[in-house]
Copies of this chain bind each other. A is one copy, B any other.
Amino acid sequence: MTTERIIDFLNTRRPDGPCLVVDLDVVRDNFTAFRRALPDSAIYYAVKANPSPEILRLLASMGSNFDAASVSEIEMALEAGATPDRISFGNTIKKERDIARAHELGVTMFAVDAVEEVEKIARAAPGARVFCRVLTDCEGAEWPLSRKFGCAPDMALDVLRVAHTLGLTAHGVSFHVGSQQTDINAWDRALGDARGVFDSLAADGIVLKMVNLGGGFPTRYLKDVPAAEAYGQAIFEALSRHFGNRIPETIIEPGRGMVGNAGVIKAEVVLVSRKADNDNLRWVYLDIGKFGGLAETMDEAIRYPIRTARDDDRFEPCVLAGPTCDSADVLYEKTPYPLPVSLTIGDEVLIEGTGAYTTTYSSVAFNGFEPLKSYVI
């Protein structure tokens, strides 16, 4: 997964300290694969996954739309060349003054999951289109979503009815099957619920137009994941099963699936030690950890592939930890991570599949360490 271009960059530039290097060629290929796999869906790149200007500019130039979580992400998408009609304010939790600002910037599509949020939008962005997020189960996802976003399908009916009454356009339904979702059939049940919402509202004369299929498309970490085409096929079949020949507009919001495999973090081994003479587990400490960009190792959820120059040697499991004085800054301990026995202080390691959800998770200065540097090539 580490491309020749990334290896060349690291060999030539020899950047000091931990850093992420993202290969734009991979992002380009991913975008093309999504477009081919889901030719009838509009792609809204989830900016939060990696908001580097170079990535946003590339995707804007390829015709991508953008899913923004905040006003600042809307501004970044605009700066990258997207027009406001290509931006969705996809966070269901928004301050009214941020909605007003988005409206001022020309954004017309907003996510909601509560009547209270609809009321804010009606006041601050009159005439906007809203889609209501519906709760769904996340079985099969490696980074499962909580109940934080979305409401029960029955409540979604109320939410969209109130939107209609307040002069907004009740535009559609969204759901999210969980991040790093490896079950291609996960979309099926949620689409059944979506169809139910379409039908109930149609009976009131409210015609929904759009289903937002969310994100969840995985990137390859240690295990193989189905290719984009497999997702496209399964989603198309589920859409046909539930909506017959009246398939609505659909959008997808890939984040991890768009940039995850495009990035590699270069890090350094700071210490290899044991805790006691009879300890059979090494501790390997890197110069990057949970607070320097690898937040998704929380509860050991995401297990990144790690490459070293000693991968021809014998491997033994070790506890892998970060460089801060925080005891929670341990990456893999419950399931120790196999690394070459000869790994030693000063060695470089490549942490693959780190293009998404790393740089922006990085803390500002915990323990005085700088945030993760990023190079987009």
Contact = CB atoms under 8 A, between A and B. Distances in A.
Contact of A330 (B96, B146, B283): B146
Contact of A93 (B70, B76, B152, B270): B270
Work out how many copies of this chain go into the complex. 2
Contacts of A148: 283, 321, 327, 329-330
A48 B367 contact: yes
Interface stretch (A181-189, A305-313, A357-365): A357-365
B368 A73 contact: yes
Nearest to A46: B325
Contacts of A368: 47-48, 51, 68-73, 76
A186 to B, nearest CB: 15
Contact of A367 (B69, B116, B324, B371): B69
Interface stretch (A79-87, A220-228, A271-279, A335-343): A271-279
Interface in A266-307: 268, 270-277, 279, 283, 285, 287, 291, 295, 298
A271 B323 CA distance: 37
A241 interface: no
A275 B155 contact: yes
Contacts of A326: 48
A36 interface: no
A327 B145 contact: yes
Contacts of A5: none
Contact of A69 (B46, B276, B324): B324
Interface in A124-164: 135, 143-152, 154-155, 158
Contact of A272 (B51, B76, B116, B295): B116
A6 B291 CA distance: 29
Task: Give the contact-size bracket for chain A.
Answer: 35 or more
A90 interface: yes
A271 B93 CA distance: 6
A120 interface: yes
Contact of A364 (B92, B144, B321, B371): B371
B116 A147 contact: no
A371 to B, nearest CB: 5
A95 B154 CA distance: 57
Interface in A348-377: 359-371
Given A48-B325, A143-B327, 9 more contacts: A51-B365, A73-B367, A91-B323, A94-B270, A116-B271, A117-B273, A149-B325, A149-B327, A150-B275
Interface of A: 46-48, 51, 68-73, 76, 90-96, 113-117, 120, 135, 143-152, 154-155, 158, 179, 268, 270-277, 279, 283, 285, 287, 291, 295, 298, 321, 323-330, 333, 345-346, 359-371
21 contacts: A48-B324, A48-B366, A51-B368, A69-B325, A70-B367, A70-B369, A73-B367, A91-B325, A94-B270, A96-B345, A96-B346, A117-B271, A117-B273, A149-B327, A150-B275, A151-B273, A151-B274, A151-B275, A155-B276, A295-B363, A361-B363
